[in-house]
Structure 1
Amino acid sequence: MIKLLLPVLLSAIAFDAAAQAPAAGPSERSPWGIGVAAAVSDSPYAGEGTRVIPIPLLSYEGERFYFRGVTAGWRFVDTATFEFSALAKARFDGFDVDDDLDRGQLARNGIDADLLEDRKRGLDVGVGMEWSGRAGELQLELLTDATDRSGGQEASLQYGYPLRVGGGVLTPIVGATWWSGDMADYYYGTLREEVARGVADYRPGAVTTPHAGVSFFRPLGRTWSLVGSLRYSQLPDAITDSPLVDPGTDGSASMFIGVSRGFTPWWLRRR
């Protein structure tokens, strides 16, 4: 399985920046966007290391409905300073034991890889809120696992302050993400069925992960856009002490850069 934990989050940030950037008037740009990006991330999981991953970009910004990469939303409230949306977001956290993890490192952590199960992808649903003004932008998301992979919940709070730089928008970002015990136990703990096979019992419980970074958006003419971001997450001890994680890990960094082009779908051109 392709590991997309942090790159997916970064793509969502980049699409948010593209959607909000005032560098070009909305009437001048298509609500549809398509492009390609590359992400470099270091995974905390044992032996997974650093990956360079190509990511297709697809976005749509309508009056109510929008789609940004792995996130779809419906705006119930949309004013100049406040937005409230229902959300559905794909979750790519987790791993395939055989493809992603290093058996030797797991063994040094006291874990027999043959006794582990994959941690699967899922779909979260919930709500998102955003406040914007002269003081910056504040975003809050409350999500729950709709596929019952972990049965857990996530809450994330993020603040950004957009700055006009070089014809684009540079947004420094700080925030934190909270995972419920069920979610953290599924992705970074050991499962009950694994413990029954002889794996050490480890459950991190609820965790909060702070992060900081920067996103960038710049229009390139009428149809093209450049998007990018950098992000560093400081992992809590409950995660770094997990036997599924590389020893000595204390954080995780990612870089994302891509280009997107506005376009008109073929079925609309016929009208």
Structure 2
Amino acid sequence: MRYRYTLCTTFIAVSLFWQPSAYADSETVRPEPRGFIYGIGVGLNQELYQDYRRRIVPIPVIGYRGERLSVYGPFISYELLQQDGLTLTARIAPRFAGTDASKSPVFEGMQKRKTSMDAGVGLRYDWQNIRLETSWLHDVLGNSDGYEVRNRIGYQHRFGPVFVEPHVSLDYSNARLVNYYYGVRPEEATSNRPAYQAGSAWNPGVGVSVATPIFFGGMTRLGLDHRWYDDAIADSPLTDRRRGFQLFFSFSRFF
């Protein structure tokens, strides 16, 4: 089976919302700081579209972290319920995906595939140093009218003031979402770009996140993610890459 790589908005969101102190060793747990936040983040994403090698996503980190509400730029999370290690949240996140002929010649003569905005819910379970997460996000702008379910398990190690979390993931994108970004409509077909109807996709990945509060009185985060993509994406005439990576870096501090 062949796979391809694409942009993962939730990878950026997880990197921003990750709070290692929330489930550090019980002897060193301290209340999480709250208040207004400022900083900068940047994501580097290896694209799978033909002739579109990478996407750089700068993200100004201006927001707020409260008892229930967290805002990091365009990423918003609100805690609905927390009990016995379970946390249920409502989420809003942009989807930095799609392209047009100005970015990749493979889209010449095709209708633009737009970035969008997703909304949904997330469920997290923390047990000792293990974190299980699942989330469901739907395109609320109706561009693809599709949805994505993301599943992730991580284990946190602490090395003094540095927190390291390796993780594995398995994500599901429904057929509407995949077909919008990787399908070719009959009226868009050419001799070099046949019509293509994409189905749903299961996409596994592995990665590592690192966070530390030791620099300049703020929180520094670094994330690296490697992902493989299902045949529904890999077989698209719009793609030419088997796998790839995402790199995310951010620094933020409280006012």
Q: TM above 0.5, one fold?
A: yes
Match in the other structure for 2:3: none
SS at the partner of 1:187?
helix
| CA-based RMSD | 2.5
Deviation per CA, 1:204-232, whole angstroms, max 9, x where unpaired? Answer: 20001111101111012683111110000
- Which consecutive unaligned segments of at least 5 residues does structure 2 have? 1-5
Q: CA–CA distance in 2 between the matches of 1:49 and 1:41?
A: 9
- Identity, in percent, stands at 26
Moved over 6 A (4+): none
Match in the other structure for 1:18: 19
Match in the other structure for 1:81: 85
Match in the other structure for 2:76: 72
In the TM superposition, what is the alpha-carbon distance from 1:177 to its structure 2 partner?
Answer: 1.2
Q: CA–CA distance in 2 between the matches of 1:24 and 1:49?
A: 42
Structure 1 residue 121 corresponds to structure 2 residue 126: no
In the TM superposition, what is the alpha-carbon distance from 1:47 to its structure 2 partner?
Answer: 0.6
Among 243, 246, 250, the alignment partner of 1:254 is 246
Distance 1:191 1:45, change over 3 A: same
In the TM superposition, what is the alpha-carbon distance from 1:41 to its structure 2 partner?
Answer: 2.2
Q: CA–CA distance in 2 between the matches of 1:91 and 1:208?
A: 18
Q: CA–CA distance in 2 between the matches of 1:70 and 1:141?
A: 17
In the TM superposition, what is the alpha-carbon distance from 1:192 to its structure 2 partner?
Answer: 5.0
Q: CA–CA distance in 2 between the matches of 1:262 and 1:93?
A: 30
TM superposition score normalised by structure 1: 0.82
Higher helix share: 1
Structure 1 residue 136 corresponds to structure 2 residue 130: yes
Q: CA–CA distance in 1 between the matches of 2:67 and 2:188?
A: 47
Matching residue's letter, 2:137 = L
Q: Is the contact made by 1:84 and 1:128 (CA closer than 8 Å) also made in structure 2?
A: yes
Match in the other structure for 1:164: 158
TM superposition score normalised by structure 2: 0.86
Aligned residues: 246
Q: CA–CA distance in 2 between the matches of 1:213 and 1:146?
A: 28
Q: CA–CA distance in 1 between the matches of 2:21 and 2:92?
A: 19
- Which consecutive unaligned segments of at least 5 residues does structure 1 have? 107-112, 264-271
Q: Which moved further from structure 2: 11-20 or 120-129?
A: 11-20
Structure 1 residue 61 corresponds to structure 2 residue 53: no
User: What is the 5 A alignment of 1:1-271?
Assistant: 5-6=7-8, 8-18=9-19, 20-21=21-22, 22=24, 25-26=30-31, 29-98=33-102, 100-101=103-104, 103=105, 106=106, 113-134=107-128, 136-191=130-185, 193-195=187-189, 200-220=194-214, 223-246=217-240, 249-263=241-255
